[in-house]
Amino acid sequence: MAMTKNIVLLFTLILFHNLSYTQTQPWQGKFEPIDNMISPPNSYRTASGAPGKAYWQQRADYKIKATLDESNNTITGEETITYYNNSPDDLSYIWIQLEQNVNRKGNEDFGSFYNDIKDSINARQMQFLTRAIDFPAGYSIKYIKDVNGNSMKSLVNNTMMKVLLTEPLKSGSSLSFSIAWSYPITDRSMYFLSREGYEYFPEDDNTVYLIAHWFPRMAVYNDTEGWQNKQFQRLGEFALEFGDYSIEITVPEDHIIASTGILQNSSDVLTKTQQNRLNEARGSFDKPVMIVTKDEAENNEKTKSAKQKTWKFKASNVRDFAFASSRKFLWDAQAVKLSSNTVMAMSFYPKEGLPVWKEESTKAIKNALEVYSDATFDYPYPVAISVNTSNIGMEFPMISFNGGRPKNGKISNAAKQGMIGTIVHEVGHNWFPMIVSSDERKWMWMDEGLNTFLHQRTVAERYPGFRSTTPKSIVPFMSGDKNILRPIMTTSDSELLTQFGNNFYMKPTVGLQMLRNSIVGRELFDQAFKEYANRWKYKHPNPADFFRTLEDASAVDLDWFYRGWFFTTDNVDMELTDVKWFKVNEEEFNNKDQKKTVKLKIEGENSGGKAKDFSSGPEAITMTSTPDGSYGGFLSRIDEPELRKQLSGKNIYEITIKNIGGLVMPVTIEWIFTDGSNEIDTLPAEVWRRNEYEIKKTFLKEKEVSKVNLDPNFEFADTDMKNNTFPKVETPSEFDAFKAKKTNN
């Protein structure tokens, strides 16, 4: 009975302590699991982050015949779609994407981003605002028919078309139907952020056509959302199903086509010389081979053939199809050997891209293929193509349209770096999202952020002299006004135009760099990242799948990081508020019965202040013998004479750090000693678990310290480095010197 009373008393004391604590310390949840913030696991998506045994996804195969009419800049096409319903649901209707409708007057467009008139505005911006020069745009649907030739009813809602089925499409069955359509290709100069269209060259009266999201395409139907029928608003990109493509494209006879897929009829559309050069390129691993030379392209520009020819392509297991067509193209190609296959890297560019495109484009493709393959899985497709355009970069399976062009043959070093970076980035999109097929329209960061992370890794490894993204890059953004900042976990079209580059590209990249370099460790992180890529290639992952896989494959609890970095707008700002220097007073131990305490003066202590530096020397502290009662039931004892011996003459430093910015992170501490040497200690983020606002930590050092710095290598995007040092940096010039030293290092 006495034992029971003791237990009750114990629990009462614990309960009282906890209640007292919660009254004085409000609950702080930075280390709580994010389970309630992400979709729960189920039979389709497991708690480990892998696809479940019941995982399914739809499929759509396409057969398309299309004609490009250069005389009036239109495309006319007929397609047959075979749609496979692998879901457990019966579908009474299907949704089809009609992205070209975004260009129609009156539809949602980017004019709203330029919604303020200024006293000085250039003509192009005025066109964005007013569309004073109107132009035709959008699909004309000629018919939609089933396999028996019967018309199918449809309803168009802006960029989405709903096709009503006379009978439900049963789970496990398929449906074939045909659509005939046409649309006017838009002049890319007419639209801000135009991802496709044509570029006209007045000097030689020729055109380069970049043809993308050009045919009606099946929307995604999945286990987490049902139909992904969110409208296309230009910023958020695409969610698409995988399938096989058989494409026939009819163009003027003197055009060269760069395309997704494998050319099926090279003998019909290429000259013998071009075929021979292409065969030579298949064995050229050290340099590109010119398939179409500058002289040949310039001769091609001079006359416009009235005849046509049809190029035939096939592509397997891709989620989209794009192509470029022009008589202006130079064309080079080179073989790239990966561990499991050989890929043809190819570049297409007008003469205006010379000389830099001939020198750098295919090399950049090769570098991207090799680094990305090593970081994830070998590039599985037969070709990787880079096409030069006037501006922007845009990705599609096996092909990308990339800006960056010299003026009169000259290009600045910064512009050249930008061009190469764009090519690497857009080729890299073949992995994210073209194979690891996340929903770009909803979660832009899942493709742009992950891709930019590997893009920056490629630049660091293959172009070490180039400017690259580091944690310091995101500091100005994270120091911004919290009233307008939004978290990474914001849907693509809901982000402010002025923020989306930082929030969807840069901040996820920096976060992954922190995980790789400073939190998880390179070897473990690289394996976990590769695990995610391989689990979800040719599938549709969600944010929860990514978050869970990294933890599952690393055994590192990262919920605190996801919560702060992805779900909030908190920033990192750690303040080194105090450093105290102690030494154990050895005199008191000369006589066991003597309990002498010596306390040396610390500058400012008498007035209740803190020491500004180490000039007043250490404070002496007393270490007494441990009472037997402190050991409880333990019979063994600490060897106190040995402990005193180990502490003899050594320096004890207690540091106090405050979390000003709200974002918890590991703590990296640099100790600079009086002899000029230095040492680094790193504390894991978990040191903030018991108090998310302030921590104290004690260190034992052989040498005397002259200076202490937090985050000395700018690993964690600390937004205010001025409060990271002890002694404090007193003047701007001192801080600039400190910052310059660290930057140079």
Give the pLDDT of residue 108.
60
Could you report the per-residue pLDDT of 129-166, keeping only the tens digit for each?
888 888 899 999 999 999 999 999 999 999 999 999 99
Mean pLDDT confidence for 585-592? 58
Element (H, E) at 83: strand 74-84
Give the pLDDT of residue 684.
97
User: Does 727 have pLDDT greater than 60?
Assistant: yes
Give the pLDDT of residue 109.
59
Give the separation between CA 550 and CA 524, rounded to whole angstroms: 9
Listed residue (684, 738, 666) closest to 707, CA to CA: 738
Q: Above pLDDT 90, what percent of the chain?
A: 80
Q: Which two tokens stand for residue 401?
A: 């349209």
Could you report the per-residue pLDDT of 636-671, keeping only the tens digit for each?
999 999 999 999 999 999 999 999 999 999 999 999
User: Does 489 have pLDDT greater than 90?
Assistant: yes
User: Does 494 have pLDDT greater than 70?
Assistant: yes
**Is 513:561 a contact under the CB 8 Å cutoff?**
no
**Is 412:404 a contact under the CB 8 Å cutoff?**
no
Q: Which two tokens stand for residue 521?
A: 């460790």
**Is 671:708 a contact under the CB 8 Å cutoff?**
yes
Regarding beta strands 619-621 and 574-584, do their DSSP bridges make them parallel or antiparallel, or are they unpaired? parallel
Give the pLDDT of residue 729.
77
Give the separation between CA 122 and CA 113, rounded to whole angstroms: 15
Element (H, E) at 654: strand 651-659
Give the pLDDT of residue 610.
74
User: Does 215 have pLDDT greater than 90?
Assistant: yes
Give the pLDDT of residue 14.
41
**Which architecture, in CATH terms, is 57-241?**
Sandwich (2.60)
Mean pLDDT confidence for 82-97? 98
Average pLDDT score over the chain: 90
Residue 249's DSSP bridge partners are: 66, 311
Most confident option among 425-429, 480-484, 501-505? 425-429
Give the pLDDT of residue 115.
65
Give the pLDDT of residue 116.
72
Give the separation between CA 150 and CA 659, rounded to whole angstroms: 68
Q: Which two tokens stand for residue 648?
A: 């003899």
- Fill in the DSSP letter of residue 704: P
User: Does 311 have pLDDT greater than 60?
Assistant: yes
Listed residue (467, 402, 466, 464) closest to 429, CA to CA: 402
CA atoms in the 13 A half-sphere facing the CB of 244 = 5
Going by pLDDT thresholds of 50, 70 and 90, the confidence category of residue 8 is very low
Mean pLDDT confidence for 1-11? 42
Amino acid at residue number 493: D
Which residue, chain included where needed, has tokens 């009462």? 12
Residue 619's DSSP bridge partners are: 582
CATH number of 259-437, picked from 3.40.50.300, 3.30.2010.30, 3.40.630.10, 3.30.1490.190:
3.30.2010.30
Between 119-133, 258-272, 385-399, 623-637, the lowest mean confidence (pLDDT) is in 119-133
Q: Where in the chain is the domain with CATH 3.30.2010.30?
A: 259-437
Q: Higher-confidence residue: 504 or 498?
A: 504
Which residue, chain included where needed, has tokens 């009662």? 629
Give the separation between CA 317 and CA 303, rounded to whole angstroms: 38
Going by pLDDT thresholds of 50, 70 and 90, the confidence category of residue 595 is very low
In 557-625 the beta strands, taken as DSSP E runs, fall at 574-584, 619-621
Give the pLDDT of residue 606.
36
Q: Where in the chain is the domain with CATH 2.60.40?
A: 57-241
Listed residue (244, 221, 259, 213) closest to 81, CA to CA: 244
User: Does 593 have pLDDT greater than 50?
Assistant: no
Give the pLDDT of residue 3.
41
User: Does 10 have pLDDT greater than 80?
Assistant: no
CB atoms within 10 A of CB 32: 13
What is the distance between the terminal CA atoms of the chain, rounded to a whole angstrom? 69
Could you report the per-residue pLDDT of 366-424, keeping only the tens digit for each?
999 999 999 999 999 999 999 999 988 999 999 999 999 999 999 999 999 999 999 99
**Is 245:321 a contact under the CB 8 Å cutoff?**
yes
Give the separation between CA 735 and CA 737, rounded to whole angstroms: 5
Going by pLDDT thresholds of 50, 70 and 90, the confidence category of residue 192 is low
Give the pLDDT of residue 118.
80
Could you report the per-residue pLDDT of 511-570, keeping only the tens digit for each?
999 999 999 999 999 999 999 999 999 999 999 999 999 999 999 999 999 999 999 999
Query: What three-state secondary structure class fits 172?
Result: coil
Could you report the per-residue pLDDT of 437-456, keeping only the tens digit for each?
999 999 999 999 999 999 99
**Nearby residues of 359 by Cβ (< 8 Å), 6 or more positions away:** none
Q: At how many degrees (to 10) do helices 507-514 and 559-567 cross? A: 160
Q: Where in the chain is the domain with CATH 1.10.390.10?
A: 27-53+438-570
The CATH number assigned to the domain with range 27-53+438-570 reads 1.10.390.10
